[in-house]
Amino acid sequence: MPIKDSIATGVTHFFQATGFTIEGLKSTYRSEIAFKQEVLLLPVILLVAWLLFGFPSALLLTSMWLIVCAFELCNSAIENIADLVMPEKNEFIKRAKDAGSAAVGVAIAANICTWLYVIFV
């Protein structure tokens, strides 16, 4: 395969992946209340972090909130797949959904700990 073809494929893949990312963000924002709340809280997080703290701390606090959003996206993906595969109640599906929810909870706890550290240390 010529080099030019593999570069074009790489660029095409990049733009396709970007489109999938945007669609995933939009559809999750439309369908998941928790993700919508986290996204709507993002400007407040950014404003407080970047106005009150220096660059390293603001970057850390922003990143921590983006991690919460990333876990929420993963949790939504797990729930959607689980509901498609097994719409009726199932203990394994419940465990998968609970684990996804717990991942979001742990990310939020880490976020709170990081904010407390930045504020008080």
> Is 72 among the catalytic positions?
yes
Residue 49: CB atoms within 10 Å: 21
Residue 89: φ, ψ to 5°: -65, 135
Cβ-based neighbours of 28, under 8 Å, separated by 6 or more? 35, 72, 73, 76
Task: Give the active site residue among 38, 72, 79, 91.
Answer: 72
Segment holding 106, helix H or strand E = helix 91-120
Q: According to DSSP H, which parts of 32-90 are helical? A: 33-52, 55-85
Encoding tokens for residue 32?
A: 């998941």
Catalytic residues: 72
